[in-house]
Amino acid sequence: MPILDLAGFLLTGVLSGLLAGLFGVGGGAIMVPALILLFAHLGIGEDWGPHLAVGTSLAAIVGTGAASALAHQRRGAVRWDLVLGLAPGIVLGAWAGAAIAGFMPGLWLKRLFAAFLCYVGVRMLIPGRATGHRPLPGKAGLWAVGGGIGALSALVGIGGGTITVPFLARCGLDLRQAVGTSAACGVPIAIAGAIGFMVVGWGREGLPAMTSGFVYWPAVLLMLVASIPTAPLGARLAHSLPVAVLKRAFGVLLLLIAARLAFG
């Protein structure tokens, strides 16, 4: 692997780790677009580049999300009752999302990712729109919400924070607690989603060596080496920066990534 591409995977890991800790997003918002570009540059995966990017991102989020969740747990910012309430729906939804993604054209995956990030970014930037005091749903409601979070997250290769954080904030959770809880929810999303992408991608023609379905393991390992140490740093920043700054930075970040995917 060329040294510049090696550095690209490592830099992607560093940035995704920081974002995982800071915003509870698992880092997929950075990993997916970066991997699409890196795979295209390396000529990896041919027509399966976006699928490989999503599956590989989910596999890496298992480690990144776990490191981020642990860092937030040490600060008492994870609501485990909500994690357990959302988890069953998350797992089922992630499997369904992976199954759907396996049969979607790569361009559709990119456009879906861009449109969704644009929507959430705008909501985070509009005052009074991303937070609120709606009551948390009951058990069935949490399963349903978890199913939606898992399905859409698996479709676009993210840890679910772009949905989970606004949802929890609108239900009255402090943003830092919403970020920590979202980070913990990202782990079952990533595990279920990565398994789903391995299954639906198994045996497809044109995939490179060292893959399991749509998961490219060299990229996973390189990103994990760089992302796991930086996730705790992001978590520390999340507990020291003003809430308003976190919201605006989150929204601007999502809009920039959406624009790059839509017009790149």
Higher pLDDT, 119 or 244: 119
Question: Nearest to residue 7, comparing CAs of 161, 264, 225?
Answer: 225
Q: Where are the domains of the chain?
A: 3-263
176-188 pLDDT, tens per residue?
Answer: 888 889 889 989 9
pLDDT at 132 > cutoff 60: no
CA–CA gap between residue 13 and residue 74 (Å, rounded): 22
* Cα 238 → chain centroid: 17
5-39 burial code (b ≥16 CB/10 A, e <16): beebbeebbbbbbbbbbbbbbbbbbbbbbbbbebb
* Average predicted confidence (pLDDT) for the chain: 84
pTM of the model: 0.85
Residue 76 vs residues 27, 68, 80: alpha-carbon distances, Å:
21, 13, 10
- Percent of the chain residues past pLDDT 90, beyond the cut: 32
Question: Nearest to residue 149, comparing CAs of 92, 110, 69, 93?
Answer: 93
Most confident of 112-121, 129-138, 191-200, 220-229: 191-200
149-196 pLDDT, tens per residue?
Answer: 999 888 878 777 778 888 888 888 887 888 889 889 989 999 999 999
